[in-house]
Amino acid sequence: MAPQAAISKALLALRCASSRHGIRRSAWALGQAHRARGIATSYLEKVAEGEKRWEERAVKIQNGEQPHVWDILDERGYIKDVAGTPDKIKELMRVKRIGAYVGVDPTADSMHVGHLLPMMPLFWLWFHGHPAVTLLGGATARIGDPSGRLQSREIMSNSDISKNVTKIHYQLSRLWHNVSALRDKYGYEKDWAAKQRLLNNSMWLQGLTMYDFTKRLARYTRIGPMLTRDTVKRKMTEGDGMSLGEFMYPLFQGWDFWHMYNKLGVQMQIGGSDQYGNIVAGIDALKIIRESEEMPEMKIPSTWTHEPVGFTVPLLTDSSGVKFGKSTGNAIWLDEFKTSPFELYGYFMRRPDEDVESLLKLFTFMPMAKIQEVMVEHQADPSKRLAQHTLAFEVLSLVHGSQRAVQEAQQHQFRFGGQLPYFIREPAPDTGILTPNTAPRSDIELPQSVLKLSPAKILYAAGLVNSASEGQRLVSQQGAYVAARPGQQRGLVPGNLDWTPMKMWFPEETTKFVIDDKLLILRKGKHNIRIIELVSDEDWTASKKIYPGQPYTGVIRQVKEQLRAEAEEKGEILSDRKIVVELNRRKREESVKVANNPDIELPKRVPAYLKRGKVKNDGTWRR
Ligand SMILES: Nc1ncnc2c1ncn2[C@@H]1O[C@H](COP(=O)(O)OP(=O)(O)OP(=O)(O)O)[C@@H](O)[C@H]1O
Ligand SMILES: N[C@@H](Cc1ccc(O)cc1)C(=O)O
């Protein structure tokens, strides 16, 4: 087809589809953009193809040839309370890629197993062609969701919020990395039109003016119904009262929903069951903002295909029925340094027989028929705990990647019929190749005095490079970053995660990026992060830890001192030759490392064939 004809056809398809399903503005915008700066024909073709695929799928669902994703969510037990009418939602999801989101406030430095629960249906929706967003509440965490609480959340320091945002951001990107692998494993097709995003609400809430907020939303919001909400009533009568910020929290969450609805076409919000009130309030807020649009041509229609909807998942509780959460103090963390992969595996191994089937439905992407097979095999000999092993293996594949899952399964004496599953395409941690699953520990401590060092030496001290000269090269190639707001060399704006390339600046410059006088966040490449807590020099000395490149702790000095002490004891004279021989021996033995700080791991040298080669399906390397 001639390029111009393809473009016209795609634009036409877009317009038709959009007028039917309401992406009127984006199609219009696309047309405008195409005219103004020319949109690649291939892009328009992809859009049109995406639409066509969806229409074909809708027909198949209607004819019963393909399952509806809502029914899948329902039969697996994800749907608790629905904001909207299930039948209408089903029809909406059949005719339109409605997109969904789940938000997490970074009020701790890791997510926990409870957080996975609302994310699982989001991932299912993504597998089935709906765009999916995981939202980091960098801004809302600073307000503090009062839902279900009697006591207000503690105000977090700038350094805590920055640390939490950084850690959870990388945790979410690791989850997405593993979810993509699981999508391939379970044979769901990649769908270009089902975009997957990781956003932070400080991107829009930070710039939201009081005037806009009041003009578009607060002015039309009645306080009466808000006062009747359970959280508000209970916190005011039985708890420690409620601040205006807490009272308005649901409106900010609603503003997020509006932002994603307006900019990305996301129409569904999913959350834990304590989020039902916020989801319903968010839908009301979204509609108010939608209706308060002043420019008629910008107004999104309020027809049924534009209806915002939502649902909650059941609450994951511990054996005594208490919600798993940070505040309840019983969380099983996703951070491997808070709950090791071995412990995480063990936690799922200990689930009682009567719970394991429903947990397999909730926490894995295994088809229902496969779950039934596993359960039949399990019941034949429950003492083998096959169902628990399967559950633990699948959760580990999701949280830490399939390579780690296999390692832990082997630790727990589990055999996969004598052979490893076919889907291991991840390099193992000991190869030195970095992926989201093999990234080294990100939170480390260093003494305040490192701030007197050059950027290159700080990178070495943090274990991001193998030597100060490598650090120098990295900085000159603009390959190292410090967390900060772009264009503003004034450190990180709390709640945000932006990066500034490090330069060969004077040490004083580095101090400008230190948050609350104690936190510095560095990055090399895509996944290699260091969240450095700066402790006092006295505490550092007392800890007896050493960082790479720490002055007066070099290997030569250490070896010399040791040899001198040994020679003195034996009454011998220490020759230069002996020192050189001993040094070479230690180098050969690779003992030339900072041995007494296990947290700071220097980059492993990746053999050239591994860099070039590919991991085969059985986990070995193709040379
Ligand atoms: N145990 C759980 N079961 C199901 N969903 C959960 C659970 N814990 C958290 N969630 C959901 O995960 C999302 C993010 O939760 P949030 O950031 O409030 O964490 P939290 O651990 O519940 O916090 P806190 O205990 O401090 O209230 C929300 O939708 C919440 O409902
Ligand atoms: N309020 C949610 C997190 C969240 C934040 C912003 C949102 O837009 C959505 C959800 C919670 O505390 O669990």
Tokens in use for 391? Answer: 């559950």
In the reported structure, the alpha carbon of residue 325 is separated from the centroid of ligand 1 by a whole-number distance in angstroms of 6
In the reported structure, the alpha carbon of residue 271 is separated from the centroid of ligand 1 by a whole-number distance in angstroms of 8
Q: What is the pLDDT of residue 434?
A: 76
Q: How many residues are there in the chain?
A: 623
pLDDT in tens, 73-99: 999 999 999 999 999 999 999 999 999
Q: Output 2-5 pairs: Cβ under 8 A, ≥24 positions apart.
A: 3/41
Ligand 2 neighbourhood includes 246 CB (under 6 angstroms): no
Q: What is the pLDDT of residue 188?
A: 94
Secondary-structure percent of the chain, ordered helix, strand, coil, rounded to 5: 50, 10, 40
Protein residue with its CA nearest to atom 10 in ligand 2? 103
Q: Which residue ranges of the chain lie beneath pLDDT 50?
A: 1-3, 6-7, 10, 12-29, 31-32, 417-423, 486-487, 489, 591-592, 594-595, 617, 623
Ligand 2 neighbourhood includes 140 CB (under 6 angstroms): yes
Q: What is the pLDDT of residue 321?
A: 79
Distances, alpha carbon 263 to alpha carbons 89, 154, 199, 204, 258, in Å: 21, 33, 12, 11, 8
Instruction: Write a three-state SS string for 165-181.
Output: HHHHHHHHHHHHHHHHH
CA distance 509 to 431: 35
Around 193, how many Cα atoms within 13 Å sit in the side-chain half-sphere? 21
In the reported structure, the alpha carbon of residue 105 is separated from the centroid of ligand 1 by a whole-number distance in angstroms of 9
In the reported structure, the alpha carbon of residue 91 is separated from the centroid of ligand 1 by a whole-number distance in angstroms of 29
In the reported structure, the alpha carbon of residue 270 is separated from the centroid of ligand 2 by a whole-number distance in angstroms of 10
Q: Which residues, at least 6 apart from 549, have a Cβ–Cβ distance to it below 8 Å?
A: 453, 457, 460, 461, 467, 468
What are phi and psi for residue 167, nearest 5 degrees? -65, -45
Closest ligand to 108 CA?
Answer: 1
Q: Output 563-570 pairs: Cβ under 8 A, ≥24 positions apart.
A: none
Q: Which residues, at least 6 apart from 413, have a Cβ–Cβ distance to it below 8 Å?
A: none
pLDDT in tens, 456-500: 999 999 999 988 999 999 999 999 999 875 445 455 556 677 888
Q: What is the pLDDT of residue 141?
A: 95
Closest ligand to 258 CA?
Answer: 2
Are the C-beta atoms of residues 230 and 146 closer than 8 Å to each other? no
Q: What is the pLDDT of residue 1?
A: 44
- Ligand 1 site: residues with CB under 6 angstroms? 104-105, 107, 114-115, 117-118, 145, 271-272, 274-275, 313, 315-316, 323-328
Protein residue with its CA nearest to atom 7 in ligand 1? 114
Instruction: Write a three-state SS string for 611-623.
Output: HHCEECCECCEEC
Beta bridge partners of 445: 533
In the reported structure, the alpha carbon of residue 153 is separated from the centroid of ligand 1 by a whole-number distance in angstroms of 14
Q: What is the pLDDT of residue 597?
A: 73
Tokens in use for 322? Answer: 């208490």
Q: What is the pLDDT of residue 20?
A: 42
| Ramachandran region, residue 314 (left: φ > 0; alpha: ψ -120 to 50; beta: rest) | beta
CA distance 585 to 147: 62
Are the C-beta atoms of residues 345 and 409 closer than 8 Å to each other? yes
**For the whole prediction, is pTM greater than 0.80?**
yes
Closest ligand to 253 CA?
Answer: 2
Q: Is the ipTM of this complex over 0.90?
A: yes
Q: What is the pLDDT of residue 247?
A: 97
